[in-house]
Amino acid sequence: MTTPTIVLVGHGMVGQRFLEALADRGVTERARIVVLCEEPRPAYDRVQLTSYFSGKTPDDLSMVEDGFLEKHGIELYVNDPAETVDRAARTVTARSGRVFAYDTLVLATGSYPFVPPVPGKDAEGCFVYRTIEDLLAIEEYAKTATTGAVVGGGLLGLEAAGALKGLGLDTHVVEFAPRLMPVQVDEGGGAALLRTIEGMGLTVHTGTGTQEIVTGGDGAVVGMKLSDGSELATDMVVFSAGVRPRDQLARDCGLAVGERGGIAVDEFCRTSDPAVFAIGECALASDGRVYGLVAPGYEMAQTAAAAIADHASGDGFTGADMSTKLKLLGVDVASFGDAHGTAEGCLDVVYSDSRSGVYKKLVISGDGVLLGGVLVGDAEQYGLLRPLTGTVPPVSPEQLVLPAGAGAPVSLGPSALPDDAVICSCHNVTKHAIGQCTSLPEVKRCTKAGTGCGSCVKVIEKLLPAAVDKGLCGCFSYTRSELYEIARTLRLTSFAALLDSHGREEARGGEGCEVCKPTVGSILASLAPTLGIGGYILDGEQASLQDTNDHFLANLQRNGSYSVVPRIPGGEITPDKLIVIGEVARDFGLYTKITGGQRIDLFGARVDQLPSIWTRLVDAGFESGHAYGKALRTVKSCVGQTWCRYGVQDSVKMAIQLELRYRGLRAPHKLKSAVSGCARECAEAQSKDFGIIATANGWNLYVGGNGGATPRHADLLAQDLSDAELVRLIDRFLMFYIRTADRLERTSTWLERLEGGLDHLKDVVVHDSLGLCDELEALMAAHVADYRDEWAETLDDPERLRRFVSFVNAPGAPDPSVRFVPERDQIKPDLTILTIGNLEGATSR
């Protein structure tokens, strides 16, 4: 018997899902599978395309698991698209000249970007935004450009605009409709989105179209003429004005197509030729629609695979949920169901806060059924609201949109959803199916839920058993403290080594996640001296593990500027150093603030100014205050017995000694300390992670305090200690905390969680009940001996200094979106565009 051949034309996201569906049904074991791919690489995640500009590589975006094609004997031909189809002979001819006979042909040719037929559209400097190759070309051209314009204010258009801004260009968005994202959001949502996006420094032109692309003498783009009569100077143009189904191959071979395009298919995705199927964006479904989202494409892929495998065939594809949730330029935007309220007699429930850029609208039928909605700026409830569409919610609509504090709290969680509620619309996975699993990796492996757009992951996690998995995250089944011991004992010196040897099986060989990368980065930093991997936080792999602030050794502020916080041990500073700080603040135009931690913070520095500022501070004897890291911040002090008539010990000297000893110590969370020279406690030592109060006989040591959102008085660990005894006990306490605490756990929370509490802590660090004290002291001694100031090291290395630019393609250019206005003889961020507006409550029409 002859082995049948299935030829798939197109290897995008939908094409790959089709191959996986064939493999799941065992078709790959009994048929030859040939794939013709136009692009130079296998299927990749086009939904996450823009993440390329934030550090993802083409390999990171790949949708094809290593070994998948080989395991299932699938023949993939990249850079070799189908050119012609002979339906009579049942053959496909590729661009290379190869001819493939088929028994079944599946067209997954996707769509192409629509470029308005305006003069100059093909000029040098005009691009579309569709493939990785498009992004590579845009990235290269942007190196010589200063201004960019995106034609189209829809989903992909706003992503393209974010990419241009990230490349350092002054960016404009031109949208013909009267609002942004006209298909997904209504007028109110579009207005909220507009305010927020303009507040980020982008210029938006709505209600106007592109009439002409203006070129210079060399044929390159120099501007645009708009339909409202205005002109826009720009160096490059990116067209993102929608897509059209790629159906030319079908037209050429005589398959039926729709009047407005798209290959006509029935409910099983068969075309007018029973041997030919069409799936994804190239297909005109039986309900008369061309679906431009990936979730309907996945459903078509499953439907076609089932029909091919079984030759008949159960449920077909008759339509799909067009709900969507995404993050555009950092703004959450979601729509679901009848978002525009087209149903007769429907009512709107609206919450709008122009100041914070939040807009929420629910569409409700006359009898209380949730029909749909729009969420802008806060889409946290999307995962719950979308599955409730078509039902009467268990709480009032007002409760579903009002924020906490503005109305009765919503006691609605995933448990309120019915078992048949679809949690993952990308893969059509129900709550019941998820309930059969015990962990997120298992859910992803068994159902594929959470592997598409990712918007359902938070809801999935809430549906899983709470105490089944105590692992750090989906990548590691170990806790933070267990990973610390593994790295220390086995002397593992990199995140990759730890993940590959002790990560969950499905995570090995991957990149980790936003939970485990900074956690392991902190562990490796605290162990750096003993592992011999160097203490500089941005060397090698360590740089990719750090939180945002650590990347630039400074705290990012709300308007995109940074703060500069030099260390002032014990709060003691000479007049000369005060003068240097004042001169730096004056010369760079920075806002200055004396903090509660006895430091002087300087705000408003651009990232490109940081090296110049720190050069002057380091030359004056200052070093990093580690305000950006999970590390020791300050050791506050009163003036002590040197000046105060009540003081009984030199608190300033002790505070300086401790701050210099523990500076740069990386920990699960930030650390604060204080030394009071007498029982009057002017330094507020009992509200610190470790606090010291002087007595007539020495020092009392308090631990586990917290003066933050959940204040906690510290507990007395030991009293009347000598200087040497005090330092030794603090060494032990800090290293035991670093060794055993959970991720982002303050000492106050850790001490309350610690089995046996304070008594156990005393046994371990005072009485050495576990025999660990020598080891804990050695770890601290290694830290002290290895300490080096991060900013001083940065300034001495030209390669390290290269990261401190606002724009990689224009190293000397300042970020124009970082703006200030005067206030009280200083500056403050210019955020007026984000704060103009009013608060509207929940209303019905």
Count of Cβ atoms closer than 10 Å to residue 477 Cβ? 18
Cα separation, 165 vs 147, whole angstroms: 9
The encoded tokens of residue 254 equal 């005589």
Burial group, residue 116, by CB count within 10 angstroms (0-12, 13-18, 19+) = middle
- Per-residue DSSP letters for 293-337? SHHHHHHHHHHHHHHHHHSS-SS--------EEEEETTEEEEEEE
Task: Summarize the annotated binding site for [4Fe-4S] cluster as residue ranges.
Answer: 638, 644, 678, 682
Candidates 353, 360, 342, 417; CA nearest to 386 is 417
| Residue at token pair 């509490």 | 757
Q: Which residues are annotated as a binding site?
A: 638, 644, 678, 682
619: burial class by Cβ within 10 Å (0-12, 13-18, 19+)? exposed
Burial of 407: CB neighbours in 10 Å, binned 0-12, 13-18, 19+: middle
* Strand intervals (E) in 559-625: 562-564, 591-594, 600-605
For residues 627 and 397, what is the distance between their CA atoms, to the nearest angstrom? 43
User: For residue 694, what are the β-bridge partners?
Assistant: 699
Q: What is the phi/psi pair of residue 407, to 5°?
A: -170, 180
Binding residues for siroheme: 682
Q: What is the DSSP string of 327-386?
A: EETTEEEEEEESTT--STT-EEEEEEETTTTEEEEEEE-TTS-EEEEEEES--TTHHHHH
As a whole number of angstroms, the distance between CA 324 and CA 295 comes to 9
How distant, in Å, are the alpha carbons of 29, 43, 435, 442, 817 from that of 447?
A: 22, 20, 11, 8, 43
Q: What does the DSSP 8-state code read for residue 402?
A: S
For the packed helices 773-786 and 516-531, what is the interaxial angle rounded to 10 degrees?
90
Is beta strand 236-239 parallel, antiparallel or unpaired with respect to 147-151? parallel
Q: Residue 393 region, left (φ>0) first, then alpha (ψ -120 to 50), else beta?
A: beta
Q: DSSP class of residue 71?
A: H
* Segments of 23-169 assigned E as strands: 32-36, 74-77, 82-86, 91-94, 99-101, 104-107, 111-113, 126-128, 147-151
Question: Which residues does 109 contact at the CB level (< 8 Å), separation at least 6?
Answer: 9, 10, 246, 247, 249, 280, 282
Handedness of CA 37, 113, 197, 170 (dihedral sign): positive
d(CA 743, CA 519): 6
For 110, phi and psi rounded to 5 degrees? 70, -140
How far is C-alpha 562 from the chain's CA centre? 20
